[in-house]
Amino acid sequence: MVVATGSKPCFADVPVRRTSRFAGRGGVRWLLDQPQRPSSARQTLPAVVIEKDDQYVLNHCTRYLARDADEPRHDFGQYQPGDPRARIADAWRYPIVDSYFDGASVEASYRFNSVTFVYDGRVSPASDVALTGSFTELHDPVALRQVPFLGEPSGIWALAVRVPKGQVHTYKLRVDGDWRIDPINPQTVTLDNGREWSRFFTEACQIPLTLARRERELLGRIVSHLLPFRSDQNSKFIRQVYESMDRASRERQFPLAYRLDEEVGVVNYIDKVIARAERHNADDYKDCLAIIDGVLRARYPGRDPLTLPPEAFADLYGEMARDDVPGWDRARYGSPRYFLLLLRRHAMTGAFVHPRHGGNSGTAGWAYLESRFRDADGKTLFDWRQAMEAPLGRNTDYRG
């Protein structure tokens, strides 16, 4: 683990906020990597500290952090040898990104997450813990509070803030005056100046984090073969889901949808799941996409694999399913079928998952089922909106 030294972050060490197309103009000086912003970009409210009670914090700590064992029980290949994060379960859950509710409007609250940072003082005792990040004022660190149990400090420190959905942020902790990355959260980024920061992203994030553009495009070609959305009829339907809406309902229902395509956000879902919950599968994608790119280039000399017809990807799929892909670099990655099954799980999940996870873009996966399956009177036989929270669904009791 790399730990930044010094009593405060130096000026050249500023955190980076990368913002999605719908994130705002606030704190422009932070926007070092800003994608093109459409005119519909709207104002981001400044991050605010919110209340999460002791019970909430402990509920999200005990199972994962509390333990005596110090073996690397939770290393599935995602950690460097000796990384203490391998001792704890689901380190990726930190900071805790959760739903937000302002107490009044579910729809208005949908644009935000609560993000709860945790410091485990049992592992490294401290008397003062604070943090700064791209979601708050750099030079005004916000203190974490000690979370008590039975009136005594439990050893757990925590701070919850409200952060808009769809964003990526960097942050550091100040522990007794020393600035360091979060010892729990495995996500880090190294800035251009070589400094390492901790990173998190909020729900429905569309900013690429793991896969490069070419990797995403190649993955998109493969994924579109796996999904049912590539036929003329279905692909037209997916476009219509979005285009048929007036702008107001589009903004209300899918405020965080990125783009609707034949992959209905699956590529983005994969980019996010291998950035966080399944980091141990990230190298599988990196390796296999490179191998596939090479295989297709060798097979179709002089052609960019991205421009190949669907049949080329159908052939490749069949070969991967048989675990026999001519030209596959087995020294680099043993089993193309193993990767295919991983991809099948992620594609199925990404197409129909709750959009908070970055897939099912604009709920297009659900809308496809809703539209496709109807009774004789035209009434849908997948009325998912009845159970789902606003603004996605129409349930008036459930808040998400």
Partner 1 sequence: MAGEEEVEVLVIGSGAGGAPLANTLVKGGHQVLMLEKGPLLRTQQQSPDGLSDYKRDELFATGAEKRLTVPGMANIGESFYSSHVEPDLNDEPHVYRNSDGKDYATIEGYTAQVVGGGTQLYGGVSLRFTPDDLRLQSFNAGRTDLRNDPNGEVEREARDWPVSYDELEPFYSEAERVVGLCGTRENQEKPASVDHYQPPLQPNPISRYIASGMDSLGMKRYRTPLAVITRDHEPSGRTVPTDHETIKTAFVNRYGDPLGLKSNTWVTLLAPIVGEDNFELRANCVVTHLEAEGGRATRAHYRDPAGNKRTVRFKHVIVACSAIESVRLLALSGVADAGFDRRIQASGMLGNYFVTHCFGGASAVLPERADKSKTLDSDWATDHCATADFVRANGLWAGGAIYNNTSDAALPISLARTWQAQDMDNIWKGYLGETDMVGQGFEDYLEDNFGRRVSVSFMANQVAQRDNRIELHPTVRDKWGRPVAYIVKDWHSHDQELMRILASQCGEILRRAGDGVRFDGEGSVGGQVSRIANHVLGGARFGTDPQDSVLDADCRAWEFENLYVTDGAFMPTSGGANPTLTIQANSLRVGLLLLGRL
DSSP state, residue 127: S
Q: Quick one: which of 5, 29, 40, 69 contacts partner 1 (CB under 8 A)?
A: 69
How far, CA to CA in Å, does 222 sit from each of 32, 268, 279? 32, 14, 21
Binding residue for partner 1 (CB under 8 A) from 38, 103, 301, 326?
Answer: 103
Chosen residue from 214, 252, 280, 299 binding partner 1 by CB under 8 A: 280
Among the listed residues 165, 159, 135, the one whose alpha carbon sits nearest the alpha carbon of residue 47 = 135
Can residue 225 be called a binding residue for partner 1 (CB under 8 A)? yes
129 is a contact residue toward partner 1 (CB under 8 A): no
Q: Residue 202, interface with partner 1 (CB under 8 A)?
A: no
CB of 34 to partner 1, least distance (A): 30
Q: Does 371 bind partner 1 (CB under 8 A)?
A: no
Nearer to partner 1 among residue 177 and residue 228 (C-beta): 228
Q: How many residues bind partner 1 (CB under 8 A)?
A: 87
Closer residue to partner 1 (CB): 106 or 138: 106
**Binding of residue 283 to partner 1 (CB under 8 A):** no
363 binds partner 1 (CB under 8 A): no
The answer to whether residues 201 and 168 touch, using CB atoms and an 8 Å cutoff, is yes
**Binding residue for partner 1, selected from 113, 202, 281, 363, defined by CB under 8 A:** 281
Q: Does 249 bind partner 1 (CB under 8 A)?
A: no
The residues in 76-95 that bind partner 1, with binding defined as CB under 8 A, are: 76, 89-90, 92
Give CA–CA dist 68/233, Å, rounded.
Answer: 57
> Counting contacts by CB under 8 A, is residue 63 touching partner 1?
yes
Residue 352 binds partner 1 (CB under 8 A): yes
Which of 134, 135, 97, 136 lies closest to 117 in space, CA to CA?
97
CA nearest to 143, candidates 125, 131, 127: 131
CB 260 within 8 A of CB 361: yes
In the numeric block, which tokens belong to residue 324?
Answer: 């026999």
The residues, any chain, with a CB within 8 Å of residue 65's CB and separated by 6 or more, are 88, 118, 120, 122, 156, 184
